[in-house]
Amino acid sequence: MPEPSLALDDTTEGDDAPLLFERVAEAVRALIAARALVAGDRAPSLRASARHLGVSVATVVRAYEELEREGRLEARVRSGYFVAAPASVAPHGRPRVAARVPAARPVRTGEHIDEIIESARLPGVVPFAAANPGVELLPSKALGRALRAVAAGSPAALLDYAPMAGEPALQREIATRASRLGAPVDPGDVIVTAGATEALAIALRVVTRPGDTVVVESPVYFGLLRLLESLALRAIEIPTDPVHGLEPAALENVLARTAVAAVVSIATFNNPTGSLVPEAARERIVALCARHRTTLVEDDLYADLHADDRRPRSYRDVGNESWVVTCSSFSKTVAPGFRIGWVISSRDRVALLERKLVASGSNARLPQLAMARFLADGQYGRHVARLRRAYREQLRCLRASVHRHFPDGTRTSDPDGGFVLWVELAGGIDTQALYRRAIADGISLAPGALFTNGRRFRNCLRLSAGEPWTERHDNAIARLAALAAAS
């Protein structure tokens, strides 16, 4: 059977004309509208279409990705693009942003966070709930080799306490990477921590006192809310854009009228929305914090997971670094179970180290030495390039699957990196109730209510695309959609 023939609309040329890829997309839309292509058909092949239309393959790919975002096409792993079922042929907007910034208030989280996150680890459960990387994507062989090499060295490397601030070899590797896009980092200013969790905990202990107010993004990572609660801090949640994240104007309004001890922001691939604060906005945010003498605690955990080639610069790269405390880890990129994170601040180094030693002492030594060796061998760059491609593809498949199976009116984020998807269902669907039904059916998810200290996001959920995508995952999304429809 000959493929339906694509044709570009020549009447749209001129200065205001759409970009080439948009014209290719429009040509496909026309074939679908004319029912020359129907649900389940294979879309015209990328190469043939490019040749036929006289455009590059990349232009056709970009058009098809756009059509996929719209729910008109769907990508199948290793099979190419197909026309999607009519139910999902509908505009899927981005999740919406509230206009109002609520007042500061004490944080109260529920007791069910752990249960939900641990549910992703139950045998047989599809683990959409936890923002954990799929173990099969991680460099187990290279890390195993590094570990064996270190363990076979001196008994001290295996057994002894590590230096208090961290293994010097690891501090150097982290400092070198952190120096690439901004001000140079002194390795001595890197304090190795038990994941970004401990980095955030000691940073907030240093820059706040109980009762202080902290600005966070909304929706916000539930672990941060729980930390604020444990430190008896008050939170102001600034609604953030699902594309551009924290907006400087909104922050400026808050800082102008409230005494704020710290601002905590995930500028790069926010958890849960995946938003990315543009560089100009980052500069303004750092300048605002410096002007108000408020510390900006940045959680830079996902920054190496950029879908395109350029790593976004972090807050500390773009402004007055003395007001920035940078927290990060290898938990989303190399080895969650190694529990290796870090915090960087030349201004607060002494106080941060003191807090770290009181809280947990030095970090385990062997994982630090093995990680340092893995990094020094130059394996991180190659590994993370592969990982970025995998996460990008998995996120794309997850998003397409949601568009395919959920009804019109379902809104999704469209992150340029990381591996979590933020989904807004039609109003009236309670995702906590959905969680309970889903987990009974072997599917875990993170309900939106976890991501706020207020009452928003009850019809939202976060889905993780940490695992390689399979039919099993697609089936789980289909079942989830059916459960949501029945609620």
Q: Does 486 bind a second copy (CB under 8 A)?
A: no
| Choices 251-259, 275-283, 352-360, 406-414; region in contact with a second copy by CB under 8 A | 352-360
Q: Does 379 bind a second copy (CB under 8 A)?
A: no
Q: Compute the least distance from the CB of residue 475 to a second copy, in Å.
A: 23
| Choices 258-266, 288-296, 364-372, 396-404; region in contact with a second copy by CB under 8 A | 364-372
Q: Compute the least distance from the CB of residue 119 to a second copy, in Å.
A: 12
The three state secondary structure string of 199-225 is HHHHHHHHHCCCCCEEEEEECCCHHHH
DSSP E strands: which ranges in 240-299? 262-265, 295-299
Q: Does 281 bind a second copy (CB under 8 A)?
A: no
- Contact between 127 and 116 (Cβ < 8 Å): no
Name, in order, each residue with C-beta under 8 angstroms of 385's C-beta and a sequence gap of 6 or more.
none
Binds a second copy (CB under 8 A): choice among 110, 361, 381, 407: 361
Please calculate the CA angle 439-440-443 and round it to the nearest 5 degrees: 35
CB-nearer residue toward a second copy: 80 or 163: 163
In Å, what is the CA distance from 418 to each residue of 251, 305, 308?
24, 5, 11
Q: Compute the least distance from the CB of residue 153 to a second copy, in Å.
A: 10
Site track for a second copy across 68-107, x = CB under 8 A: ----------------------------------------
| Choices 74-82, 110-118, 372-380, 397-405; region in contact with a second copy by CB under 8 A | 110-118
Binds a second copy (CB under 8 A): choice among 54, 337, 427, 428: 337
DSSP E strands: which ranges in 401-466? 411-412, 420-424, 443-444, 446-447, 460-464
| Choices 56-64, 137-145, 177-185, 270-278; region in contact with a second copy by CB under 8 A | 137-145
In Å, what is the CA distance from 203 to each residue of 183, 193, 227, 295, 342?
20, 11, 11, 10, 11
Q: Report the relative pairing of strands 443-444 and 446-447 from DSSP bridges.
A: unpaired
Q: Does 7 bind a second copy (CB under 8 A)?
A: no
| Choices 47-55, 131-139, 394-402, 417-425; region in contact with a second copy by CB under 8 A | 131-139
Closest CA to 126 of 367, 379, 487, 478: 478
Whole-number Å distance between alpha carbons of 403 and 423: 10
Whole-number Å distance between alpha carbons of 391 and 404: 19
Contact residues for a second copy, defined by CB under 8 A:
111, 114, 118, 121, 132, 135-136, 138, 140, 143-144, 147-148, 151-152, 155-156, 158-164, 193-195, 197-198, 201, 205, 210, 223, 226-227, 230, 331, 335-339, 350, 353-355, 357-367
